[in-house]
Amino acid sequence: MGTLVDIIALVKEMPEEYLNETLEKVREIKEKAKNEEKGKNPGCPHCGSTRIVRNGHQGRKQAHLCRNCGRSFVETSRSAIERSQSSATVWKQVISDTVNGISIDKTAESLDLTHATVFNMRHKILYCVEQSLIAQPTELSGVCEADETYVLESVKGKKITETYHRKPRKHGAIASKRGISNEYICVCTSVTGDGNKVAIAINRATPSSQEIEDVFGGRVNEDTVILCDGNRSYGVLEEKCTVAMTKRINKVNGFHSFIKERLDSARGVSTVYLNRYNALFSSIYAADESVVDDIFNLMTAQVGSFSSISHTKSDNLLFI
């Protein structure tokens, strides 16, 4: 299936004498889509009524008026992208690029958007995915592999002060201390036999029993079997589930490799946003192509999930 980026690339390479013909064809398709949309009768996101009439436009979007509650709305009202001026096609492309690890600059260039616009769109995506996992935490049932991995702390995008605990380092540099130190962020992870994943950063260096409880305690039950490689902190879960030691935790190690590869390809992400990326990684690791549509449906669900850019940039950040 073609993507918006493919279409834009083709148009850029098209001979000039065909541009007008192409433009007219695109306008015809757009008009056809608009006419098909007119036949649809969306339900009111405020009261659920289908007594709806068209009511002009808001921000280039078709507006509707509910005859039941008297409130006006557009197709994205009460969704995560309620006030966005970008089309569903653009949002799907940004989601696809986010899922596939395409850099913000490349996405911005291919879609003729600014870096700031794509940055804000990407963080709305990450925030929405993270909030959905907070609202409905992933359950760990059956046999689960659990282990922690460590990623370098990053203050990408900010200036390090003289009083900071370490000196600035360039992209690709290594920690100044050998072994696990306070320069590393611990990411607690688990992968179940059914393919459910959890990845949450909670501390620097080795996790304590309380931190293991905080991450996994509410997700396990008496039928859960946690397989770990010998960290005694997992013993805190023994009152809620079965904990067993093993040297074979290949599934969770594969998840660790995926996390590190994605962070490396992004040249690191700021630690304050790490759990948002962890939420994304948990949602997309070993997932099929439908994950893009799943995230788009999550962002367009009319459940009152809209948040402003300033709120998205400041809410529930990771400070450790």
One domain for residues 51 and 167: no
* Sheet strands side by side (includes 72-74): 52-58, 61-66, 72-74
Q: Give me the pLDDT at residue 53, please.
A: 87
One domain for residues 191 and 291: yes
One domain for residues 144 and 241: yes
b/e code 306-316 from CB counts within 10 Å (16+ = b): bbeeeebbeee
One domain for residues 9 and 62: no
One domain for residues 141 and 71: no
One domain for residues 64 and 190: no
Report the sign of the C-alpha dihedral through residues 247, 252, 254, 260, in that order: negative
DSSP 275-304: HHHHHHHHHHTT--TTHHHHHHHHHH--SS
One domain for residues 50 and 8: no
One domain for residues 263 and 209: yes
The verdict on residue 238 lying in a domain is yes
The CATH number covering residue 231 comes to: 3.30.420
Contact 192, 219 (CB under 8 A): no
Q: Give me the pLDDT at residue 316, please.
A: 92
CA distance 94 to 78: 20
The verdict on residue 291 lying in a domain is yes
Contact 140, 220 (CB under 8 A): yes
**CA 146 from centre of chain:** 22
> pLDDT by residue (tens digit) across 18-29?
778 888 887 777
Name the 3-class secondary structure at 199: strand
Q: Give me the pLDDT at residue 33, please.
A: 65
The verdict on residue 101 lying in a domain is no
The verdict on residue 92 lying in a domain is no
- The rounded average pLDDT for each run of 10 residues, N- to C-terminus, in the chain (320 residues) is 74 80 79 63 82 81 85 87 90 96 94 95 96 96 95 78 66 66 90 95 90 96 93 92 93 96 90 96 94 96 90 90
One domain for residues 208 and 272: yes
The verdict on residue 320 lying in a domain is no
One domain for residues 144 and 236: yes
**Residue 13 domain boundaries:** 1-33
Report the sign of the C-alpha dihedral through residues 124, 149, 271, 114, in that order: negative
Indicate the DSSP class of residue 252: H
One domain for residues 279 and 297: yes
Instruction: Give pTM, 2 decimals.
Output: 0.83
Number of domains in the chain: 3
Greatest CA separation for the chain: 74
Neighbour count for residue 217 (Cβ, 10 Å): 14
> pLDDT by residue (tens digit) across 132-185?
999 999 999 999 999 999 998 887 766 766 666 666 666 656 666 676 777 889
Question: Distances in Å between the alpha carbon of 314 and those of 74, 127, 196, 254?
Answer: 27, 10, 28, 31
Alpha helix segments (H runs only) across 58-103: 88-99
Q: Give me the pLDDT at residue 98, please.
A: 97
Question: Distances in Å between the alpha carbon of 92 and those of 2, 45, 159, 317?
Answer: 12, 22, 33, 25
Environment class of 53 (CB within 10 Å of its CB; exposed 0-12, middle 13-18, buried 19+): exposed
Residue position matching structure tokens 């197709």: 75
One domain for residues 157 and 173: yes
The verdict on residue 95 lying in a domain is no
The verdict on residue 307 lying in a domain is yes
The verdict on residue 116 lying in a domain is no
Q: Give me the pLDDT at residue 161, please.
A: 66
